[in-house]
């Protein structure tokens, strides 16, 4: 792996170069560094550690934005290097990590080392309330923003430099060019989180899969996400509109429509994404469940309303991005 370095976003806010943009905030006075996520492997964690040291920093804490493995696999390395390191997460993230461990035989990432999986869960030293507000790490005052939609209990972190580390609420252009489906497990929450990020009007946003996006580009990126989300909802609606159909058949048609690789990993990812869109179509009353001879079928409702189409794409305008919490 090529040596990564730290990219200065603004002031004392940095992110790691490379595929996974681990966040770093370094106190300008004490040089104590807080990481946002730990990296996708021990190798990535080691590179981040070395890069922080080159800046004269000392890693004292990690804030885990959520429990997916590419965010968590660096924990083992940092615990070995810094036994007294503080590791923060929300309760939801802790529960999610435990659930994924319990389901590891069938979940994505089931090949991970079980001992390290257990250590990851028990390495969390403190829990962050799942709510908007300030959060103190030593002498560093950060802001927490809740960002549901991609994963349960996911949060973002805002530094004193007005840099938002928004984890996987948004994905970078490279990811958009490669991934045909966007991984969201709750569609309504995902849209709310996207609008919330825009309402912050921050100078820079750091995407875990995508690096730094400046204020001038974030609106365009957000609209691309909303368009992609709505198009998939429309595809699924049209599939259900053709005839009553089971969830498994919907998943099969989505995989075929988008040319998804026929592997268990891709099936599980596509299944989770498809379920989220079907759930949202049910929530909004656009489709109905019907049980027939032990099979659950979905049909369109009598209301002739469908999600955003090519002619009715959902876009956010500059004048309409103020987030109001419910």
Q: What is the mean pLDDT of residues 4-23?
A: 97
pLDDT in tens, 244-289: 999 999 999 999 999 999 999 999 999 999 999 999 999 999 999 9
pLDDT in tens, 92-119: 988 877 766 666 544 444 444 555 655 5
Residue 320 has a pLDDT of 47
- 242-300 and 6-129 share a CATH fold: no
Q: What is the mean pLDDT of residues 28-52?
A: 97
Measured distance CA(197)–CA(202) in Å, rounded: 8
Both tokens of 243, joined, read 């005839």
Instruction: Calculate what percentage of the chain has a pLDDT beyond 90.
Output: 81
Looking at domain 242-300, does it have CATH number 3.40.30? no
CA dihedral sign, ordered 221, 225, 231, 235: positive
Residue 118 has a pLDDT of 55
Residue 316 has a pLDDT of 59
Q: What is the mean pLDDT of residues 200-207?
A: 97
Q: What is the DSSP letter of 257?
A: H
Question: Closest Cα to residue 101, out of 80, 127, 123?
Answer: 123
Domain ranges across the chain = 6-129, 242-300
Instruction: Concatenate the DSSP letters of all residues of 86-107 into one string.
Output: EEEEEHHHHHHHHHHHHTTTTS
**Does 42 have pLDDT greater than 80?**
yes
Looking at 3.40.920.10, 3.60.15.10, 3.90.700.10, 3.50.50.60, the CATH number of the domain 6-129 comes to 3.60.15.10
Q: How many helices (H) and strands (E) does the chain have?
A: 10, 16
Residue 287 has a pLDDT of 97
The C-alpha angle with vertex 241 and arms to 238 and 242, in degrees rounded to 5, equals 95
């Amino acid at each position: 792996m090529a040596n990564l370095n730290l990219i200065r976003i603004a002031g004392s806010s940095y992110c790691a170069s490379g595929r996974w943009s681990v966040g770093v905030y370094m106190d300008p006075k004490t040089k104590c560094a807080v990481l946002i996520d730990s990296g996708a492997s021990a190798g990535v964690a080691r590179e981040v550690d070395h890069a922080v040291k080159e800046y004269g920093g000392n890693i004292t804490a990690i804030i885990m934005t959520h429990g997916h493995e590419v965010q968590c696999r660096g924990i083992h390395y940092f615990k070995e290097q810094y036994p007294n390191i503080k590791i923060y997460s929300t309760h939801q993230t802790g529960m999610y990590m435990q659930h994924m461990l319990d389901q590891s035989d069938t979940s994505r990432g089931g090949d991970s080392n079980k001992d390290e999986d257990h250590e990851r869960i028990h390495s969390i030293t403190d829990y962050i309330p799942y709510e908007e507000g300030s959060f103190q790490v030593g002498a560093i005052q950060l802001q927490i923003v809740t960002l549901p939609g991609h994963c349960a209990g996911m949060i973002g972190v805002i530094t004193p430099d007005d840099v938002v580390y928004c984890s996987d609420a948004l994905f970078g252009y490279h990811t958009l060019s490669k991934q045909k489906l966007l991984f969201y497990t709750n569609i309504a929450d995902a849209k709310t989180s996207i609008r919330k990020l825009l309402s912050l009007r921050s100078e820079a946003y750091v995407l875990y899969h995508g690096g730094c996006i400046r204020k001038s580009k974030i609106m365009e990126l957000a609209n691309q996400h909303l368009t992609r989300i709505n198009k998939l909802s429309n595809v699924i609606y049209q599939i259900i509109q053709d005839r009553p159909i089971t969830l498994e058949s919907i998943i099969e048609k989505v995989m075929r429509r988008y040319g998804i690789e026929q592997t268990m990993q891709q099936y599980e990812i596509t299944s989770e994404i498809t379920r989220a869109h079907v759930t949202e179509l049910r929530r909004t009353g656009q489709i109905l469940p019907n049980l027939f001879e032990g099979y659950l079928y979905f049909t369109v409702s009598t209301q002739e309303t469908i999600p955003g189409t090519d002619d009715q794409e959902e876009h956010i305008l500059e004048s309409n991005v103020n987030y109001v919490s419910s």
